[in-house]
Structure 1
């Protein structure tokens, strides 16, 4: 996907969360570890939720912010590629699953942080700050919930 505007970044982020949700769902039934299956099912639902929230930014966000060009920023800070489900989560334990999820989300967070640091337009700064906060808080919530699964 060619990334040129902030709207493209949001579309990519929505696809990222959607793909991750599908992969987690696909692998949940195949994992032999009960705790890992529970975490995979939980994370899949969280990714579906994030897909919907990012979609709302994409469909109802400020047009000026959405049309902000960011391709030169993306060239300097490349967008993380989707991890294929060829090496599925079904082969990982709960700790390994969370390591992969945190790493992938951290890359999205770093992208938003980078774009926010370069944004000049107030509406773009505001949108990126909101997206950055959303991604950071959702990742913290997922980690916290996964830790509760570990305590079970």
Structure 2
């Protein structure tokens, strides 16, 4: 996907979370451990919710803000989806799943931090701050809920 402006970033993030949700569900369907399967399904639901939230942001944001150019980050720092990594989550432990998902989200928050550090228009700064906060908050909620799997 060619990413050139903030609209593309929002759309890319929406698609990213949807693909991650689909991948997590696919791995859950192949998982032999019931505990890991439930964790993967839980995380898949959260990723699907995040995809919907970013889709809503895209629909509600101002056209002028969304048309701001920002293409260099992903060219220099490509983000790879979990399915492209070495650990197949359909065979992973709960700890491996959690580490992989945390790493996935670190890549996305890194993207938003980078864009925020370079933003100089108040509407762009506001949008990027809201998106970064949303991503961080949802990841924190997801990890907190997933950590309950480890405690039980």
TM class by smaller structure = over 0.9
- CA deviation map 1:42-84 (0-9, x unaligned): 00000010000000111221111111100134445x2413233
- Would you identify which runs of 4 or more consecutive aligned residues in structure 1 move more than 6 Å? none
| Separation (CA, whole Å) in 1 of partners of 2:37 and 2:82 | 19
| Aligned partners of 2:82 and 2:100 also within 8 Å | no
State TM-score, norm by structure 2: 0.93
Shift of residue 107, structure 1, vs aligned partner: 0.6
What SS class does the counterpart of residue 81 from structure 1 fall into? coil
Pairing 1:81-100 to 2, within 5 Å after superposition: 81-84=80-83, 88-100=88-100
| Aligned partners of 1:79 and 1:111 also within 8 Å | no
Shift of residue 136, structure 1, vs aligned partner: 0.6
Runs of 5+ unmatched residues, structure 2 = none
What SS class does the counterpart of residue 84 from structure 1 fall into? helix
| Separation (CA, whole Å) in 1 of partners of 2:68 and 2:24 | 32
Name the structure 1 match of 2:37. 37
The Cα RMSD (Å) is 1.6
Shift of residue 85, structure 1, vs aligned partner: 6.2
Shift of residue 29, structure 1, vs aligned partner: 2.3
| Separation (CA, whole Å) in 2 of partners of 1:88 and 1:53 | 27
Name the structure 2 match of 1:23. 23
What SS class does the counterpart of residue 29 from structure 1 fall into? helix
| Aligned partners of 1:64 and 1:124 also within 8 Å | no
| Separation (CA, whole Å) in 2 of partners of 1:55 and 1:141 | 19
| Separation (CA, whole Å) in 2 of partners of 1:137 and 1:151 | 21
| Aligned partners of 2:73 and 2:111 also within 8 Å | no
Name the structure 2 match of 1:14. 14
Pairing 1:1-150 to 2, within 5 Å after superposition: 1-76=1-76, 78-84=77-83, 88-150=88-150
